[in-house]
Amino acid sequence: MKTKNIIACKESAQGTNHLYAVDPNSRAKLEGNFVIATDEEIDQAAESALQAWQTFKNTSGAEKGKLLRTIADNLENLGDTLVHRAMAESGLPEGRIKGERGRTCGQLRLFASLVEEGSWVRATIDTAQPDRNPIPRVDIRKMYQSIGPVAVFGASNFPLAFSTAGGDTASAFASGCPVIVKGHPSHLGTHALVSQAIADAVISCGLPNGIFSSINGGANEGSMLVKHTAIKAVGFTGSLAGGNAIMKATYERDEPIPVYAEMGSINPIFLLPSKLDGDQNSVADQLANSINMGVGQFCTNPGILVIPPSKNQDSFLEVLGQSFDALKSHTMLNEGIYNNYESSKSKMIANQNVRSISCKSTDNTWSAQPALAKTTAQEFVKNPDLHHEVFGPFSMAVVCDSVEEMKAVAQHIEGQLTATMMGTSEEIERHTEIIETLREKAGRVIFNGVPTGVEVGHAMHHGGPYPSASSSKYTSVGTDAILRFVRPICLQNAPQSILPDALKDHNPLKIWRMVDGAQTKEVI
């Protein structure tokens, strides 16, 4: 296994300091001492990316599609070598890693299809009207173009799908932006394998080597990377503290740049009476399994359950507690996440207005015990400390005595990635005021489902108001993720010879365009 940094698709090891990965199950050191990138290597990566961008930004959709498909092929060709290393570094089971590899390759190929078709640039043309009165109209044409080199940070909880070749890298490459990835310190071997697969794809496709680099390091290396003048945007998936630190670093630049940070949330689920009055066991198992999925280490993990007024409140919470009691503990991703989970969980349960429903003792082996607590709606509304995310298999039942209290809970939650309402169609129709509030608070509103599970497609929006994300306008999942790394360019009265193909009269790309207010593929 290669343990060096990759600078402009070539191995580099100028530094003398190293990192190593740890198996969270055995807590043993894994093979490989990975060289931490030096300041000079980070500077070289950034400058190489900026130079390569001059070519890559004009690369055709067909060429970018070939790159993305080749990366996917290379990842699959790594076979069990990649799967077993990712399992060892994350503690996640084989089925989960193979599923995540499939998702990673699937989104690479989805973006390949997007750029090969080409209409994503949203070409818009207002043709000249020299005879218009009282003022003639000039020829105006607009489209999206890439913004420059992008810094990507690997995520702790998705070693493949949100890391080195994840959605940030795929969408940045699709837009025509070079990428520099800082691998997550927990997944150094996985990062190295995937980085080499990407570098090999760049070289085999004959693209400029500078469009890809990967570095090892910690907070200092990450800060230097995002402060480099060549970097024009940042993609990040992780904690609120981590996202805020990156945003702070970019604010200190002479030229501030956008940070697209997805930072998690408590993803409230609002239950309606039918869910308490019907098959309680089925509902309780559905909720408990969702909360414990992936050991609760999903950004869409349901952190609060809003319990409606019902004669069956107590019996439902008892059944839900039994579902939690039946869950098994599983190893968390790393020591830091485990310690933070135990600390945050204990702090929640220590509140005098919170009562534990299910909370087993831990044996301190990085293995998280699922936990359920409850509080009143009144206490939740007045105590912001109860709104904080507990990253792990924990949820808080917020018990309401009236619909008005449910409304108050909805109004007092912060920005969320998701919010869910579960009930019959007739019940849901009677609670439109809560639904409207949830639409203001969340990026995705779910009905009669659970939020754990984010489809990679065209309609998906995985983002939300702060603090769930740095910008509610953009998504980190789905084809619209490409919009983070582009900006509109408007060309007025430009000669045909200098127009990009997407804006030329004869439409050589044969893409859909908006011409004089109408969608068409026709020539002008």
Query: How many CB atoms are closer than 10 A to CB 387?
Result: 18
Q: Which is nearest to 384 in space by CA: 348, 417, 437, 331?
A: 348
Residue among 89, 221, 262, 389 flagged as catalytic: 262
* Backbone phi, psi, residue 10, to 5°: -125, 145
Is the peptide bond preceding residue 467 cis, with omega within 30 degrees of 0? yes
The residue from 299, 342, 400, 405 that is catalytic is 299
Q: What is the DSSP string of 185-231?
A: GGGHHHHHHHHHHHHHHHHHTT--GGGEEEE---HHHHHHHHHSTT-
Q: Which helix (H) or strand (E) holds 404?
A: helix 403-412
Report how far residue 521's alpha carbon sits from residue 524's, in angstroms, rounded to the nearest whole number. 9
359: annotated active-site residue:
no
51, two tokens: 């130079």
Longest dimension (CA), the chain: 81
Contact 478, 237 (CB under 8 A): no
**Taking Cα atoms as reference points, which of 392, 362, 367 lies closest to residue 91?**
367
Residue (of 370, 351, 377) closest to 284 by Cα position: 370
Do 91 and 25 meet the contact criterion of CB atoms below 8 Å apart?
A: yes
Burial class (CB in 10 A: 0-12, 13-18, 19+), 424: middle
Tell me how crowded residue 439 is: count the other CB atoms within 10 A of its CB. 12
Burial 309-332 (b: 16+ CB within 10 A, else e): bbebbeebbebbbbbbeebebbbb
205 is catalytic: no
* Active site amino acids: 262, 299
